[in-house]
Amino acid sequence: MEGNDGGGGGDGQDIGEAAEEEDDEAGWPGEESEDVTRALFPEMEQDRMELLELEMRARAIKAMLALHERRENRP
């Protein structure tokens, strides 16, 4: 019963270290596939960026309109 204090010992730490080493060796999942997707579908990536820009502009306009509305409704 020596060494069995119910705390799990250092096994969890060893497993965590092994997992970190595997992650370092493998790199980020999807990193490579994302680059491949961008290379294969540049028009889709461009469309995606344009859509993001439009969404950002729409949010900015909506925020400005809401601010203007609040200022008009002040007593």
The answer to whether 9 and 3 have CB atoms below 8 angstroms apart is yes
Enter the pTM of the model: 0.44
The answer to whether 38 and 45 have CB atoms below 8 angstroms apart is yes
Please state the rounded mean pLDDT for residues 21-32: 60
pLDDT 10s digits, 11-25? 555 666 666 665 555
Cα-Cα-Cα-Cα torsion 40, 36, 49, 42, nearest 10 degrees, comes to -20
In Å, how far are 1, 10, 73 from 6, measured between CA atoms? 10, 11, 65
**Per-domain boundaries in the chain:** 34-73
How distant is the alpha carbon of residue 65 from its chain centre?
30
